Structure 1
């Protein structure tokens, strides 16, 4: 049964990923990027919440990438850079 548990880990959804301790939020072009590096097998996965607006008009996008980084600080830096790039490329299409 070892192969099946390995396969289930491979195809598990981000919703099953461990909760991340959020870093300080950063404002960028009207969006708020909150890096949430996720611990993954001794490393950190690039992850963030990207939000825009307030109250009922607030939109949120969960940003998760396959990149793994050794340190939490490096992960926050890479997450911020990738989230900004995504905002520049997709804008409102993120939501």
Structure 2
């Protein structure tokens, strides 16, 4: 019987915790800093990110993940940035 490491199964099932960290440049909008941070999922990208604003010397952050999946990282980032105009 052949033995496999937990790392092998993690990679096989997409559970690899070592994902690349991507530096995101925020987009400023009406005093808020918007960080689009799409999540790669099954060959698509889930719309996600952070919205930050300094209030009384403290940075407040709202993190969110939407159910929407799009075909590319760029599409997910663009959708998030365009959505700010509607909210």
Task: Please identify which structure carries the higher helix content.
Answer: 1
Structure 2: gaps (5+ residues): 1-18
1:79–1:26 Cα change, 3 Å: same
Residue 57 of structure 1 corresponds to 58
Aligned partners of 2:84, 2:58: CA distance in 1, in Å?
Answer: 21
- CA contact under 8 A between 1:22 and 1:34: conserved in structure 2? no
Q: Please report the RMSD computed on the Cα atoms of aligned residues, expressed in angstroms.
A: 2.4
Q: Pairwise mapping of residues 11-90 of structure 1 onto structure 2 (< 5 A)?
A: 21-53=22-54, 57-86=58-87
Task: Please identify which structure carries the higher strand content.
Answer: 2
Aligned partners of 1:32, 1:20: CA distance in 2, in Å?
Answer: 19
TM-fit CA distance, 1:84: 3.9
Q: TM-score, normalised by structure 1?
A: 0.62
- CA contact under 8 A between 1:20 and 1:37: conserved in structure 2? no
TM-fit CA distance, 1:69: 0.4
Task: Deviation per CA, 1:61-90: give whole Å up to 9, x if none.
Answer: 00211100001111110011223433xxxx
Q: TM-score, normalised by structure 2?
A: 0.67
How many residue pairs are counted as aligned between the two chains? 69
Counterpart of 1:78 in 2: which secondary structure?
Answer: helix
Aligned partners of 2:54, 2:84: CA distance in 1, in Å?
Answer: 17
